[in-house]
Amino acid sequence: MSSCRVAISVDSDQGLDAPVAMHFGRCPFFLVAELKDGALVSSHTVANPFFPSHEPGQVPSFIASLGANVMLSGGMGGRAAQLFAQSGIEAVTGAAGTAANALKAYLDDDLSGATPCEHH
């Protein structure tokens, strides 16, 4: 049985109904979803301890400490994507809508890869 933990940058603590944050490092919360064999087992919301400002590397390290294998976000800088890769975490940008929408898109292989934000 394959298990996975997916972190999603979100703008509120509304669980799977929370809107995806457009920039992972500046979001107030992360939704952490536990998956087993591609199915959602549980989810919970964690406050971003580095909101509203952070130093480079702090948020990727925090996500790694949560045991995440995947980080979904609307966007992120190229350095952050590199730091995730170095930690063995798949960084995925382009997520939109609710956390549930983003998770479904990822599981359906409609969302993959990380394209750095243009302003980074």
- Output the pLDDT for position 117: 46
Number of domains in the chain: 1
For residue 98, give the nearest of 106, 90, 89 by alpha carbon: 106
Tell me the pTM.
0.91
Two tokens, residue 109: 């292989």
Residue 113: inside a domain: no
Residue 17: inside a domain: yes
- Output the pLDDT for position 71: 96
Residue 119: inside a domain: no
Environment class of residue 5 by beta-carbon count within 10 Å: exposed (0-12), middle (13-18) or buried (19+)?
A: middle
CATH number at residue 41: 3.30.420.130
The residue range of the domain holding 80 is: 3-107
Residue 112: inside a domain: no
Tell whether omega for the bond before 52 is within 30 degrees of 0, i.e. cis: yes
**Segments in the chain below pLDDT 70:** 1, 54, 114-120
- Output the pLDDT for position 25: 79
